[in-house]
Amino acid sequence: MSTAEASSEARTIVALGLEGSANKLGVGIVKHVYPTGVPANVELRPEMIELANVRDTYNPPPGEGFLPRDVAAHHRATIITLLNQALAEAQLGPKDLHCICYTKGPGMGAPLQSVALVARTLSQIWKLPLVGVNHCVGHIEMGRAITGAENPVVLYVSGGNTQVIAYSQQTYRIFGETLDIAIGNCLDRFARVLRLPNDPSPGYNIEQYAKRGSKYIELPYTVKGMDVSFSGILSFIEKLAKTEAEKHTPEDLCYSLQETMFAMLVEITERAMAHIGSKEVLVVGGVGCNVRLQEMMGQMAKERDGKVFATDMRYCIDNGIMIAQAGALAFARGFTTLIKDSWITQRFRTDQVHVEWRT
């Protein structure tokens, strides 16, 4: 069928998604139902039915980060259990699936390799096609599907990424990003300084401390055009926490850190909205769960007669169903990944993906 022809009958795709780019291991199953009579050159907006979304997290002791080898060992030990749990929850077997989607990157090398190996193995045993998915695009497509946002400016904030993104000509284009460390990494590292628990996540625990803070401490504010920098803020506040602990409570430090970094993100997001003429903001990624970030972004959007879209922890934190969602969209346009090309990459930029399912 040519790209201009219309499908004569409804098409259903059931996709399995495997996510393991960091310390969250997720398995998700999604069902897409595509309406009849839709030309192939029209944007795909299928009915999305969530069948399963299970997840397990590797948590090191308080004050410690997670090493790639330990995360990979966790993923290898847990993934079969999660896979069986997802299939049972969806009440499906391998014969009911159409494709196996996995995170190709970006992320931590060893965990990515562990999950990709399972995806390749299942693909060959079950004789199903593979679909390699960009982790960042998975977040965006899941956010669009859950919230109904049409063409938003996307703020993608997580442990490994900080980007302001807008769609144009079948590409998610990066308008601005961090010049050094991601905002989630900054929060995680400061949580280690304060020896906050890693369960459920360092960023969540910093958010709870910040809610009890009241005194704002001036910190470096580093916005360079459309880009931001967090390493200087981290060095500055680490020094305060270690050398001036008697002057500043942990709650006030967390409050000040959040307020400063979130204000930087609001600034560059607003600039992107003005540039493309959008009135929508979609916040995705693990840090996107932060209620204060959503409040600050919402206030800015309201002043521009706009609206903020965000999801809860089921979808903003790394999960398997977002990989299934993006993979199913690509698979519907005929995209698959050959076994020989099913390698992983720690560096896979959002703007390197051909978003063929959008027009």
What residue numbers does the annotated binding site cover?
135, 139, 156-160, 188, 203, 207, 290, 318
DSSP letter for each residue of 53-111:
EEEEE--PPTT----HHHHHHHHHHHHHHHHHHHHHHHT--GGG-SEEEEEEESS-HHH
Q: Is 354 exposed, middle or buried (0-12, 13-18, 19+ CB in 10 A)?
A: exposed
User: Which pairing describes strands 171-177 and 130-134: parallel, antiparallel, or unpaired?
Assistant: unpaired
Provide the annotated binding site for a divalent metal cation: 135, 139, 156, 318
How is the beta sheet containing 162-168 ordered, strand by strand?
171-177, 162-168, 153-157, 280-284, 307-310
Residue 115, token pair as written in the block: 């999950």
Annotated binding site for substrate: 156-160, 188, 203, 207, 290
Q: Scan for tokens 């995680």, then name that residue.
A: 188
Strands 47-57, 162-168: pairing is unpaired
Strand ranges in the chain using DSSP code E only, listed in sequence order: 11-19, 24-34, 47-57, 99-105, 130-134, 153-157, 162-168, 171-177, 223-224, 227-228, 280-284, 307-310
